[in-house]
Amino acid sequence: MDPYAKPNERKVGANRPKISHLPSEIDKRTRNQRRAEKQAVAAERRAIKKAARRNLKKRLLDELDEN
């Protein structure tokens, strides 16, 4: 996933929101479980963005030190 993608471009790939068209007899997850999964994906995305920002900042500082 591209951490700097536009909002409409973020919901692609492996972490896209998966819509389940299954009846409750098959899908036994509760609403809280679904919400927890969604929050875990959001936390992972935040971590990716944070790491990307840190990496870019480090690169910028390294380039400034070279000059």
Inside any domain, residue 36:
yes
User: Does residue 39 belong to any structural domain of this protein?
Assistant: yes
Number of domains in the chain: 1
Domain range holding 27?
7-66
Q: Is residue 31 part of a domain?
A: yes
Domain-located, residue 38: yes
- Domain assignment present for residue 2? The answer is no
Q: How far apart (Å, rounded) are the C-alpha atoms in residues 47 and 24?
A: 32
Q: What is the pLDDT along the chain (67 residues), one digit of tens a residue?
A: 566 767 666 666 676 767 777 887 888 888 899 899 889 999 999 999 999 999 999 999 999 999 8
| Coil vs helix vs strand at 26 | coil
Q: How much is the pTM?
A: 0.56
